[in-house]
Amino acid sequence: MTDELQLISAAKAGSADAFADLVRSYRLRLLRFLLTRCASYADAEDALQDTLIAAYRYIHSYDPRWRFSTWIYRIAIRNAQKIRSESVVEFGDLSDEESDPMLLCINASETNNLWVSARRVLNDDVFAATWLRYAEDMSISDIAKALDRSDSWTKVNLLRARKALDIEMNKENNGSETYG
Amino acid sequence: MDKLAEKLKADAAAIDVHISDDLDRRIAASLQGVEPERPSQASPRSRPALFWWASSLSGVAAALAVIAIINSQSQTVEPPVAVAETSPVNEILTPVIDWKTESAMLTQPLQRELEDLRSDIKKAEEKVKQDIGL
């Protein structure tokens, strides 16, 4: 954590190398998350690049009371939303196996990846909250900050997402009803 | 960790991504080309909460002071003046003011302007008459 703070202060002073070191461990995790939000692998890569540039440009606005991961995920979520709003491809089209970048990155043996079902049954914000909770082990308050939502909204929706995903996990036959 | 949480964590890790050399180079080049914004370039910081409390309190104190002063002035009763004691105005000695001078001063520039316009019209008429040979 101390190393992270040192890298942050070096990045604030204008060291691009320090910033590159700082975000090195986040790049894969961010790309994986962005891949679930974008229409193509190239879009996810662009979103990652934009996220890192924005984070470096506005590094002075980073408040050390936040976890760095929360702050950078917040930027990533905004960038993903921006790219998706600019893209013509609708969210529903992502279920097409031939073009869905997330499905292309899942091993063929992993037949029942729950995140595929999660994306179908949860809305955007609830999906992001669920990802941050279970893939990133973030706390409720950090998720609320990253999504710019209240703690109570986050708690309630995570609980509902859990129930929906429990059903998905236990039943092969998935419903088409979208939650949220 | 419960079964669902384990499954979600494992499934997230099963999404196989990698940072290509090309993307790595792009990111590095982008970062080298970007300057972090300085705090002075950012939006101004909001004033501390203490500032607003202090200004509110001083405002309230000023309002109370004004109310107190107005009330104290309205409560001072002036002693009644006896009608018989008032000195009669000596109408013969009061000077008469000539009020006409002020109204003349106000309309003077307009009248001068009107005269100038009339003379201009007269000159123009004469010139036209000369031109047409009358």
- What is the model's pLDDT at position B41? 54
pLDDT at A176 over 50: no
- Same-domain status, A115 and A93: no
Instruction: Please check whether residue A130 is in contact with residue A165, taking contact to mean a CB–CB distance below 8 angstroms.
Output: yes
Cα B2 to Cα A45: distance, rounded to the nearest angstrom: 33
Do residue B8 and residue A166 have CB atoms under 8 angstroms apart?
A: no
Cα B131 to Cα B134: distance, rounded to the nearest angstrom: 8
Q: Could you tell me which residues are beta bridge partners of residue B15?
A: A106
For residue B37, the 8-state DSSP code is P
Query: For A67, phi and psi rounded to 5 degrees?
Result: -75, 145
Each residue's pLDDT tens digit, A53-87: 999 999 999 988 889 999 999 999 988 888 777 76
- What is the model's pLDDT at position A59? 92
- Same-domain status, A84 and A122: no
- Same-domain status, A21 and A79: yes
Whether B123 maps to a domain, the answer reads: yes
Do residue A49 and residue B17 have CB atoms under 8 angstroms apart?
A: no
Whether B13 maps to a domain, the answer reads: no
- What is the model's pLDDT at position A98? 60
The total of structural domains in chain A comes to 2
For chain B, state the CA radius of gyration: 45
- Same-domain status, A1 and A61: yes
Residues of chain B contacting residue A130, judged by C-beta atoms under 8 Å apart: 8
Best mutation site among A45, A51, A162 for testing chain B: the one with the most B CBs within 10 Å? A45
- Same-domain status, A125 and A171: yes
Per-residue pLDDT band for B23 (boundaries 50, 70, 90) equals very high
pLDDT at B44 over 70: no
- Same-domain status, A101 and A17: yes
* Cα B26 to Cα A34, A50, B13, B32, distances in angstroms: 17, 11, 25, 10
Q: Which residue range forms the structural domain that includes residue B115?
A: 108-134
Q: What is the average pLDDT value for chain B, to the nearest integer?
A: 78
Instruction: Please check whether residue A64 is in contact with residue A8, taking contact to mean a CB–CB distance below 8 angstroms.
Output: yes
Helix pair A124-134, A151-170: axis angle to 10 deg: 80
Whether B126 maps to a domain, the answer reads: yes
The total of structural domains in chain B comes to 1
Each residue's pLDDT tens digit, B93-120: 666 666 655 555 667 788 888 999 999 9
Q: Which two tokens stand for residue B119?
A: 């003379």
Each residue's pLDDT tens digit, A16-32: 999 999 999 899 999 99
Each residue's pLDDT tens digit, A95-141: 455 667 787 777 666 668 889 889 889 998 999 999 999 999 999 99
Do residue B4 and residue A16 have CB atoms under 8 angstroms apart?
A: no
C-alpha B87, offset from chain centre: 51
Sign of CA dihedral A64, A138, A77, A98: positive
Each residue's pLDDT tens digit, A108-117: 666 688 898 8
- Same-domain status, A153 and A65: no
How far apart, in Å, do the first and last CA atoms of chain A sit?
A: 36
A147 and chain B in contact, CB less than 8 A: no
Instruction: Please check whether residue A5 is in contact with residue B13, taking contact to mean a CB–CB distance below 8 angstroms.
Output: no
- Same-domain status, A101 and A115: no
Q: Which two tokens stand for residue A176?
A: 């088409």
For residue B39, the 8-state DSSP code is G
- Same-domain status, A78 and A92: yes
A102 and chain B in contact, CB less than 8 A: yes
Instruction: Spell out the SS3 assignment of B42-109.
Output: CCCCCCCHHHHHHHHHHHHHHHHHHHHHHHHHHHCCCCCCCHHHCCCCCCCCCCCCCCHHHHHHHHHH
Per-residue pLDDT band for A151 (boundaries 50, 70, 90) equals very high
Chain B residue closest in CA terms to A14: B36
- What is the model's pLDDT at position B101? 57
- Same-domain status, A68 and A113: no
Q: Specify the CATH number for the domain of residue A61.
A: 1.10.1740.10
Whether B42 maps to a domain, the answer reads: no
- Same-domain status, A40 and A97: yes
Whether B83 maps to a domain, the answer reads: no
Tell which wins on pLDDT, B47 or A145.
A145
A113 and chain B in contact, CB less than 8 A: yes
Per-residue pLDDT band for A159 (boundaries 50, 70, 90) equals very high
Angle (nearest 5°) at CA A134 between A150 and A69: 65
For residue B38, the 8-state DSSP code is P
- Same-domain status, A8 and A49: yes
Q: Which residue range forms the structural domain that includes residue A60?
A: 1-105
Chain B residue closest in CA terms to A48: B27
